[in-house]
C-alpha cells in the first residue's frame, strides 16, 4: 500500500521500563532464593505483561495515520509551526499521544499530551526548528505513546516530503534607501504634502490618515510621526542588493527582509533587486510574499 | 538522525486515585501477616493524602516527610527491635512506601509508587503461598497496571483502564505458564532464609506427650497430611498407623523423646517395604516426617533414626512432598536391642504409686512372657470399667498416671498409652510410646487418604526378645471402633462409652450418618482439599524433580538449564509476535466506515489520474480534485464536505457513514492516464 511506504514503528524501552525490568529481576532472584513459586508466577506474569504492553502500545500508534500537514511560513531564528491532522480509525481507546516533526534543521520539540477526538481525528500544532533560511522539506512526522504502562515508548515515524520556506531573519541597521519617483499625482498637486520624495518626519495630527505614520518609531516608544513625501502620489522604493555593499550575503538578505517587512507595514510600494532576480514594484500581501520567497530562495539556482 | 526529545506525562487526579487504590490493596495484603502498627500507619497516611487532594491542600513539606519517615523507622524498630529479616523488612517497606505516597507529584514518583506496590505483592508471597494469596496478588497487579493505564491515557475518556490491564494480564498468562514450567529451578537458597521461610507453627503436635495433650488437637479438622499409595492397595483402616515420633523417657507426668546418637540405629535396611506412599505433609516446624508404620526406604534428605523414626534433614517449615516405602503389620523385626536403648525403654519415674506396684506384682506371679503380660494389661483395660473420654476430668497433677489407672479410669489415647507403657516397664518389659496419627478418610474426589489433626493418636510398642518391637494399641482394647473410624468418632466417644454394646452400634450409626448440610459441607471440603493438594503439588512445590517428571512425561528428556533458557527465550519471541497480532490496532484489522469511504474516494481519484499524497488533507484534495475534474466539481465537493463533517464534527449523525459510502460509490470519474 502506498500509504505505508516510508512508515516505521519503533518500540524502545524507557528508563521506567529499565526500572521495571530490574524489579522483575529482583523478584526473580527472591523467587529462586526462597524457592517461592508464587513469586515465580508474579515475575513471569510481569514479564508477559511487559511484552504484551509493548505490543499494545505499538498496535495503537501503528493504527494512527497522518491525514494532513499544513505548514505556516516562518522566519529563520524562529520555529516553523505546522498543523498536523492525525486520524485513528476504528474502535478502541485513544490514549495520549506526543507528536513532533523533523525538517531541514532536525527534529522539533515534542508536543503533547494530545488526545484524539472521539471520532478519531485530531489537529495539533507542532514546531520544527528553523535556523537557516532557504527552502526545505519536511522530512518526517512522528507520534509516540507510552501507553499502557510507560515502560515502552512506541513511536511511529512517517516519511513525508512537504516543501516549506524559511525566510531570512529580518535584521539590519542600514538606513532606508532613497525612494524614487514613480508617478505624479496631478489631481492633488504639489502643494499637497504627498509625493515621491521622502521629505522627512513631522508629528501626526488628529484627523490625519494613519497610513503614513511611521509605525516603526511608534513601536520604539516615540509619539506618532507622519512620513512626509514631496511630489504627491505614491512613492516607489527599490531595495537593491547592490546598495548593501560591504555586508556578507546572509546579512544582506536579512537587511533586505527587514526593509521588505517595514515597507509592507507602511504600505508603500517597493521593488526588490537581487543579483539573479528582481521583483517589480508593487504592494500587498501577495507581493510581500513574492519578495520574501525570492529572498528565501536566494542562491538556490546556482 | 536522532529522535525528538522526550516529553513528560502530566499526572492526573484520576490516575493518582487509581494508584491510591492500588496501594490500599497492596497494604491490605499485608494486614494478616504484619503487626498492627505498620499497616495502620500506612492506611492513615493514605487517608491523609487523599484528604489533602480532595481539599486541594498542599502536600506536607520535605521536613515533615523526613520526620514521618524517621517516625516510621522508629515504629518498626519498636515493634521488632531489629531491622533484618522478613517481618521488619516488609513492615519498613510498607511504612516508607506510605510516606513516599505523600510526595507523589509527577509521573516519576508515580512510577516509583507502582513499583513499590509490585514489591509488596511479592512480599505477600513470602508469607503465604495459598491459592487465595495468588488471586489477591493478581488483583493487586491489575490495580497497579490500571493506574498506569489511566496515567498514560491522558485526558482520554475512551480508555477503560481495568479492562486494558485485564487484557494485558490475559495476554501474559500463556507466556507465564510456559516460563513457570520451563524456567530452570535451582536447588537450595543463594543466601540464608533469614526467617523468611517460616510459614509453619500451626500444627498441634509437640515433641513431648502429656497424657492429655493429644486431646487438645482432636477438635481440629485441619488436614495434616495426604497420602497416595503407589502401585498397591491402600491398607485397611486398622493398619493405617502413621508413625511420627518415639518417646522413651518419662518423669511420671510427661514423656520425652530423649537424645539418641544417630549412630545407634540398628534398623536401617534397604529392604523393600511393600507399601509405597506419596505423602504431602503440612508444615509443623519440627524435623519428623510421618509415614505408615514403619518406614523402610526413605527419600534422600531424610533418614530413619533410632526407634524407626523418620526424620527430615531440617525443620519442616513449608509443605513438603516425599515418597516413602513402608512395611505394615505392626511388627518391627530386630534381632537385638542396644543396651542404651534397653535402659531407656525400661526407665521409670522416681516415684511410683504403690497401688500400681501391687497390680503388676499380681500379674507377674502368673505370667513372665512379655506378650501375655501385655494381654493381661489389655484385659485389665477392657474389664476394669475403663472408659474413653475427650474430657477425662482433672487428674492428680503429681501422679496423673496412677490416678487415671486406679481411680478415674476415664481417658484418651494418651492416657492409655502412657498407662500401658508404665505398667509394662514396671513388669520389666521394654516399652516405648509412639505418637502419630491413626485413621484418616478417603477423599472420594481423588481417592487420596486425608489425615487430620483429629486423627492424632498415641500407642505403645513392646520389645519381644530376639524378635523385635510389637505394636500394642491399648486404646483399641477400650474402643475397637476407633481403629475403623478414626478421629471422626471423637465427638461421640463419651456417649458411646456410657452405653451398652447395643447402644454402641446405634450411636456409631448416628455418628456416621450426616444431614444434608453436613454432606454439602463435606463435599465442599473434599473438593477444596483436592484443589489445595493439586495447588501444593503442581504450583507451590513445583521444583526441579517435579519439573523433570513433567518434562519427561511430555517427552522432553535430558534438557539442561541452558536448553530450557533457550526454549524460554524462543517462547518470549513467539509471545511478542502473538501479542502483536492480538493488539494490532483496529485500523489494521478493519478500517472504520469513514476511513473506507476515504480510501475508496482516493482510489477513484487516482484511477482518474490524480495523485493523492497521503499527507494531503480533505480540503486540499477537494481543491485539487475540483480543478482536475471540473464536471464533477460540485459532487466531489459535497462528498468531501460530508466526510469532513462526519470525521471532524462534534456530533456525528448515525448512518452518515453509510450514506457517504453510497455517494462515493456512485461517483463516476472519467478514467484517464496520469498526466
Say yes or no to pLDDT of B267 above 50.
no
- The more confidently predicted of residues A219 and B313 is B313
Chain A nearest-CA residue for B596: A89
Say yes or no to pLDDT of A196 above 60.
no
Q: How far apart are CA A63 and CA A60, in angstroms?
A: 5
What integer pLDDT is reported at residue A282 of this predicted model? 81
Could you tell me which of B242, B244, B246, B226 has the C-alpha nearest to residue B292? B242
A159 at the B interface (CB within 8 A)?
Answer: no
Look up residue A13 and give its three cell numbers. Answer: 524501552
What integer pLDDT is reported at residue A185 of this predicted model? 44
Contact A58 B583 (CB under 8 A): yes
What integer pLDDT is reported at residue B14 of this predicted model? 92
Give domain limits for chain B: 13-159, 213-330, 589-666
Which residues does residue B209 pair with via DSSP β-bridges, in sequence order? Answer: B255
Look up residue B417 and give its three cell numbers. Answer: 498409652
Angle (CA) B563-B568-B569 rounded to 5° is 100
**What residues in A contact B155, CB-CB < 8 Å?**
96, 113, 115
Angle between helices A37-63 and B161-182 (to 10 degrees): 130
Q: How far is CA A265 from CA A271, B57, B484, B648, in A?
A: 14, 51, 112, 37
What integer pLDDT is reported at residue B652 of this predicted model? 57
**What residues in A contact B186, CB-CB < 8 Å?**
32
Q: How far apart are CA B36 and CA B26, in angstroms?
A: 15
What integer pLDDT is reported at residue B630 of this predicted model? 84
**What residues in B contact A36, CB-CB < 8 Å?**
125-126, 129
Say yes or no to pLDDT of B135 above 80.
yes
What integer pLDDT is reported at residue B52 of this predicted model? 94
Could you tell me which of B272, B285, B337, B271 has the C-alpha nearest to residue B306? B337
Give residue for cell 545407634: B264
Which ranges in B367-446 belong to alpha helices (H)? 370-383, 400-403, 413-426
Chain A nearest-CA residue for B541: A37
Q: Are A252 and A267 in contact (CB under 8 A)?
A: no
What integer pLDDT is reported at residue B177 of this predicted model? 92
- The more confidently predicted of residues B438 and B271 is B438
In sequence order, the 6+-apart residues with CB closer than 8 A to the CB of B543 are A35, B185, B187
Task: Report CA dihedral (A274, A275, A279, A281) to the nearest 10 degrees.
Answer: 70
Mean pLDDT in chain A? Answer: 79
- β-pair type (A97-103, A134-145): antiparallel
Contact A16 B646 (CB under 8 A): no
Collapse the DSSP code of A226 into the 3-class scheme (helix H, G, I; strand E, B; otherwise coil) and give the result: strand
What integer pLDDT is reported at residue B498 of this predicted model? 58
Could you tell me which of B409, B566, B526 has the C-alpha nearest to residue B477? B409
In sequence order, the 6+-apart residues with CB closer than 8 A to the CB of B230 are B276, B277, B278, B323
**What residues in B contact A127, CB-CB < 8 Å?**
none
Q: Are B559 and B184 in contact (CB under 8 A)?
A: no
Q: How far is CA A63 from CA A301, B577, B589, B636, in A?
A: 41, 17, 9, 27
Least confident of A31-40, A71-80, A144-153, B124-133: A71-80
Q: How far apart are CA B597 and CA B615, in angstroms?
A: 17
In sequence order, the 6+-apart residues with CB closer than 8 A to the CB of B568 are B178, B179, B182, B183
Least confident of A69-78, A204-213, A240-249: A204-213
Ordered domains of chain A (ranges, CATH): 2-166 (2.60.40.10), 180-296 (no CATH)
When pLDDT is averaged across residues B316-339 and rounded to a whole number, the result is 83
Look up residue A227 and give its three cell numbers. Answer: 512620513
Count CB atoms within 10 A of the CB of residue A199. 13
Look up residue B444 and give its three cell numbers. Answer: 472420594
Q: How far apart are CA A278 and CA B111, in angstroms?
A: 61
Out of B176, B583, B615, name the one closest to residue A55 (CB).
B583
B253 at the A interface (CB within 8 A)?
Answer: no
B85 at the A interface (CB within 8 A)?
Answer: no
- The more confidently predicted of residues B282 and B495 is B282
Q: Beginning with the edge strand found earlier in the chain, give each strand of the sheet holding B449-452 in spatial order.
A: B295-297, B320-326, B275-281, B223-230, B449-452, B441-442
In sequence order, the 6+-apart residues with CB closer than 8 A to the CB of B662 are none
Q: How far apart are CA B546 and CA A37, in angstroms?
A: 12
When pLDDT is averaged across residues A249-263 and rounded to a whole number, the result is 87
Category of A92 on φ-ψ map: left (φ > 0), alpha (ψ -120 to 50) or beta: left
A113 at the B interface (CB within 8 A)?
Answer: yes
Inter-chain CB pairs, A–B, below 8 Å? 287
Using only C-alpha atoms, what is the Rg of chain A?
29
* 3-state DSSP percent of chain A in helix, strand and coil, to 5: 30, 35, 35
Out of B134, B579, B647, name the one closest to residue A41 (CB).
B134
Contact B158 A118 (CB under 8 A): yes
Out of B138, B152, B579, name the one closest to residue A96 (CB).
B152
Contact B647 A36 (CB under 8 A): no
Say yes or no to pLDDT of A37 above 60.
yes
Least confident of B178-182, B216-220, B416-420, B465-469: B216-220
A13 at the B interface (CB within 8 A)?
Answer: no
Could you tell me which of B522, B496, B494, B524 has the C-alpha nearest to residue B509? B496
Q: How far apart are CA B114 and CA B165, in angstroms?
A: 14
Chain A nearest-CA distance from B635, in A, is: 22
Q: How far apart are CA B320 and CA B331, in angstroms?
A: 28
Percent of chain B with pLDDT over 90: 17
Q: Are A103 and A137 in contact (CB under 8 A)?
A: yes
Say yes or no to pLDDT of B449 above 60.
yes
In residues, how long is chain A?
302
Confidence of residue B270 (pLDDT cuts 50, 70, 90): low
Look up residue B173 and give its three cell numbers. Answer: 498468562
Q: Are B156 and A36 in contact (CB under 8 A)?
A: no
Which ranges in B388-540 belong to alpha helices (H)? 400-403, 413-426, 474-478, 481-485, 493-498, 501-512, 516-535
A91 at the B interface (CB within 8 A)?
Answer: yes
Mutation site, A147, A157, A164, interface B, largest B CB count within 10 A: A147
Angle (CA) B249-B250-B252 rounded to 5° is 165
Confidence of residue B674 (pLDDT cuts 50, 70, 90): very low
Out of A92, A95, A102, name the one closest to residue B152 (CB).
A95
φ, ψ of residue B647 in degrees (nearest 5): -80, -40
In sequence order, the 6+-apart residues with CB closer than 8 A to the CB of B156 are A93, A94, A95, A96, A115, A116
Q: How far is CA A176 from CA A200, A216, A235, B479, B619, in A?
A: 12, 12, 13, 126, 42
Angle (CA) B621-B626-B631 rounded to 5° is 145
Give residue for cell 457513514: B657
Which residues does residue B311 pair with via DSSP β-bridges, in sequence order? Answer: B288, B303
Q: How far apart are CA B175 and CA A83, in angstroms?
A: 42
Contact A62 B589 (CB under 8 A): no
φ, ψ of residue B197 in degrees (nearest 5): -95, -10
Say yes or no to pLDDT of B431 above 50.
yes
Chain A nearest-CA residue for B597: A89
- The more confidently predicted of residues B362 and B121 is B121
A247 at the B interface (CB within 8 A)?
Answer: no
Beta strands in chain A (DSSP E): 7-13, 64-71, 74-75, 80-88, 97-103, 106-107, 111-114, 121-128, 134-145, 152-167, 180-181, 197-203, 225-230, 235-240, 269-273, 278-282
What integer pLDDT is reported at residue A184 of this predicted model? 44
Which residues does residue B275 pair with via DSSP β-bridges, in sequence order? Answer: B326
Highest mean pLDDT: which range of A29-33, A109-113, B143-147, B600-604: B143-147
Mean pLDDT in chain B? Answer: 81
What A32-36 contacts at long range (C-beta under 8 Å, 24+ apart), as own/partner pairs, is A32/B185, A32/B186, A32/B190, A33/B189, A33/B190, A33/B191, A34/B126, A34/B189, A34/B193, A34/B196, A34/B197, A35/B185, A35/B189, A35/B543, A36/B125, A36/B126, A36/B129
Say yes or no to pLDDT of B73 above 70.
yes
pLDDT in tens, B137-169: 999 999 999 999 999 988 877 788 999 999 999
Q: How far apart are CA B8 and CA B621, in angstroms?
A: 36
pLDDT in tens, A82-137: 888 888 766 667 888 898 898 888 888 888 788 776 666 777 788 888 888 888 88
Tally the C-alpha atoms within 13 A of residue B409's C-alpha that lie toward its C-beta: 13
Angle (CA) B34-B37-B40 rounded to 5° is 95
Angle between helices B656-666 and B633-648 (to 10 degrees): 160
When pLDDT is averaged across residues B168-174 and rounded to a whole number, the result is 93
Confidence of residue B490 (pLDDT cuts 50, 70, 90): low
Count CB atoms within 10 A of the CB of residue B537. 16
Amino acid at each position: 500500500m502506498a500509504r505505508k511506504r516510508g512508515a516505521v514503528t519503533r518500540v524502545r524501552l524507557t528508563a521506567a521500563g529499565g526500572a521495571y525490568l530490574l524489579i522483575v529481576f529482583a523478584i526473580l532472584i527472591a523467587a529462586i532464593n526462597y524457592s517461592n513459586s508464587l513469586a515465580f508466577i508474579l515475575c513471569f506474569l510481569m514479564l508477559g505483561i511487559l511484552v504484551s504492553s509493548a505490543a499494545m502500545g505499538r498496535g495503537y500508534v501503528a493504527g494512527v495515520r497522518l491525514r494532513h500537514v499544513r505548514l505556516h511560513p516562518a522566519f529563520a531564528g524562529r520555529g516553523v509551526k505546522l498543523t498536523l491532522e492525525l486520524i485513528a480509525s476504528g474502535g478502541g481507546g485513544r490514549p495520549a499521544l506526543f507528536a513532533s516533526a523533523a525538517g531541514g534543521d532536525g527534529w522539533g520539540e515534542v508536543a503533547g499530551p494530545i488526545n484524539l477526538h472521539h471520532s478519531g481525528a485530531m489537529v495539533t500544532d507542532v514546531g520544527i526548528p528553523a535556523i537557516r533560511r532557504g527552502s526545505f522539506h519536511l522530512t518526517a512526522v512522528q507520534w509516540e505513546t507510552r501507553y499502557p504502562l510507560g515502560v515502552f515508548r512506541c513511536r511511529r515515524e512517517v516519511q513525508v516530503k512537504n516543501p516549506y520556506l524559511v525566510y531570512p531573519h529580518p535584521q539590519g541597521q542600514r538606513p532606508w534607501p532613497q525612494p524614487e519617483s514613480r508617478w505624479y499625482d496631478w489631481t492633488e498637486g504639489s502643494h499637497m504634502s504627498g509625493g515621491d520624495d521622502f521629505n522627512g518626519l513631522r508629528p501626526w495630527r488628529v484627523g490625519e490618515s494613519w497610513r503614513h505614520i511611521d509605525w516603526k518609531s511608534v513601536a520604539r516608544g516615540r509619539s506618532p510621526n507622519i512620513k512626509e513625501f514631496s511630489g504627491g502620489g505614491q512613492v516607489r522604493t527599490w531595495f537593491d542588493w547592490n546598495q548593501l555593499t560591504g555586508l556578507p550575503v546572509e546579512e544582506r538578505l536579512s537587511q533586505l527582509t527587514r526593509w521588505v517587512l517595514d515597507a509592507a507595514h507602511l504600505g508603500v510600494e517597493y521593488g526588490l533587486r537581487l543579483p539573479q532576480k528582481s521583483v517589480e514594484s508593487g504592494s500587498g500581501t501577495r507581493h510581500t510574499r513574492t519578495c520574501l520567497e525570492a529572498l528565501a530562495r536566494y542562491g538556490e539556482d546556482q | 538522525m536522532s529522535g525528538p526529545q522526550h516529553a513528560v506525562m502530566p499526572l492526573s487526579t484520576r490516575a493518582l486515585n487509581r494508584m491510591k487504590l492500588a496501594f490500599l490493596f497492596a497494604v491490605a495484603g499485608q494486614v494478616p501477616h504484619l503487626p498492627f502498627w505498620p499497616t495502620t500507619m500506612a492506611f492513615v497516611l493514605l487517608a491523609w493524602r487523599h484528604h489533602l487532594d480532595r481539599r486541594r491542600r498542599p502536600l506536607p513539606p520535605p521536613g515533615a516527610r523526613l520526620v514521618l519517615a524517621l517516625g516510621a523507622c522508629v515504629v518498626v524498630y519498636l515493634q521488632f527491635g531489629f531491622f533484618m529479616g522478613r517481618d521488619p523488612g516488609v513492615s519498613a517497606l510498607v511504612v516508607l512506601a506510605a510516606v513516599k505516597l505523600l510526595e507523589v507529584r509527577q509521573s516519576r514518583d508515580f512510577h516509583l509508587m507502582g513499583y513499590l506496590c509490585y514489591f509488596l505483592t511479592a512480599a505477600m508471597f513470602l508469607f503465604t503461598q495459598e491459592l487465595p494469596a495468588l488471586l489477591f496478588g493478581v488483583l493487586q497487579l491489575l490495580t497497579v497496571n490500571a493506574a498506569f493505564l489511566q496515567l498514560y491515557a491522558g485526558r482520554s475518556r475512551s480508555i477503560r483502564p481495568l479492562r486494558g490491564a485485564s487484557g494485558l494480564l490475559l495476554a501474559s498468562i500463556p507466556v507465564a505458564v510456559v516460563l513457570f514450567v520451563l524456567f530452570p529451578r535451582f536447588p537450595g537458597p543463594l543466601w540464608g532464609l533469614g526467617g523468611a521461610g517460616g510459614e509453619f507453627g500451626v500444627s498441634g503436635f509437640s515433641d513431648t506427650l502429656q497424657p492429655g495433650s493429644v486431646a487438645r488437637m482432636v477438635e481440629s479438622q485441619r488436614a495434616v497430611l495426604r497420602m497416595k499409595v503407589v502401585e498397591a492397595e491402600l491398607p485397611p483402616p486398622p493398619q493405617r498407623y502413621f508413625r511420627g515420633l518415639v518417646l522413651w523417657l518419662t518423669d511420671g507426668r510427661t514423656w520425652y523423646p530423649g537424645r539418641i546418637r544417630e549412630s545407634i540405629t540398628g534398623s536401617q535396611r534397604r529392604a523393600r517395604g511393600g507399601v509405597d506412599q506419596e505423602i504431602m505433609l503440612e508444615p509443623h516446624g519440627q524435623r519428623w516426617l510421618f509415614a505408615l508404620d514403619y518406614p523402610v526406604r526413605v527419600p534422600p534428605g531424610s533418614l530413619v533414626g533410632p526407634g524407626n523414626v523418620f526424620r527430615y534433614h531440617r525443620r519442616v517449615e513449608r509443605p513438603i512432598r516425599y515418597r516413602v516405602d513402608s512395611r505394615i503389620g505392626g511388627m518391627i523385626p530386630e534381632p537385638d536391642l542396644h543396651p542404651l536403648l534397653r535402659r531407656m525403654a525400661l526407665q521409670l519415674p522416681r516415684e511410683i504409686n504403690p497401688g500400681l506396684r501391687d497390680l503388676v506384682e499380681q500379674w507377674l506371679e502368673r505370667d513372665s512372657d512379655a506378650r501375655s503380660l501385655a494381654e493381661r494389661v489389655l484385659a485389665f483395660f477392657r474389664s476394669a470399667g475403663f472408659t474413653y473420654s475427650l474430657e477425662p476430668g482433672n487428674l492428680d497433677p503429681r501422679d496423673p498416671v496412677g490416678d487415671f489407672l486406679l481411680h478415674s479410669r476415664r481417658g484418651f489415647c494418651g492416657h492409655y498409652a502412657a498407662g500401658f507403657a508404665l505398667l509394662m516397664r514396671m513388669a520389666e518389659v521394654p516399652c516405648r510410646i509412639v505418637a502419630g496419627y491413626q485413621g484418616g478418610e478417603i477423599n472420594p474426589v481423588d481417592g487420596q487418604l486425608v489425615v487430620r489433626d483429629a486423627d492424632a493418636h498415641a500407642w505403645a510398642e513392646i520389645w519381644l526378645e530376639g524378635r523385635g518391637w510389637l505394636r500394642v494399641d491399648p486404646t483399641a482394647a477400650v474402643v475397637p471402633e476407633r481403629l475403623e473410624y478414626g478421629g471422626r468418632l471423637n465427638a461421640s466417644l463419651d456417649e458411646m462409652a456410657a452405653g451398652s454394646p447395643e447402644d454402641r452400634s446405634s450411636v456409631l450409626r448416628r455418628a456416621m450418618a450426616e444431614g444434608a448440610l453436613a454432606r454439602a459441607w463435606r463435599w465442599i471440603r473434599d473438593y477444596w482439599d483436592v484443589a489445595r493438594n493439586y495447588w501444593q503439588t503442581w504450583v507451590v512445590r513445583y521444583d526441579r524433580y517435579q519439573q523433570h517428571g513433567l518434562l519427561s512425561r511430555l517427552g522432553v528428556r535430558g534438557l539442561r538449564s541452558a536448553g530450557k533458557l533457550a526454549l524460554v527465550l524462543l517462547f518470549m519471541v513467539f509471545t511478542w509476535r502473538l501479542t502483536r497480532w492480538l493488539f494490532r490496532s483496529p485500523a489494521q484489522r478493519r478500517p472504520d466506515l469513514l476511513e473506507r469511504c476515504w480510501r475508496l474516494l482516493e482510489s477513484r481519484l487516482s484511477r482518474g489520474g490524480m495523485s493523492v499524497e497521503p499527507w494531503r488533507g480533505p480540503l486540499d484534495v477537494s481543491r485539487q480534485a475540483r480543478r482536475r475534474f471540473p464536471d464533477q466539481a460540485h459532487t466531489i465537493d459535497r462528498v468531501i464536505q460530508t466526510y469532513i463533517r462526519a470525521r471532524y464534527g462534534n456530533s456525528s449523525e448515525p448512518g452518515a457513514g453509510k450514506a457517504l459510502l453510497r455517494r462515493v460509490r456512485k461517483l463516476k470519474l472519467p478514467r484517464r492516464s496520469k498526466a
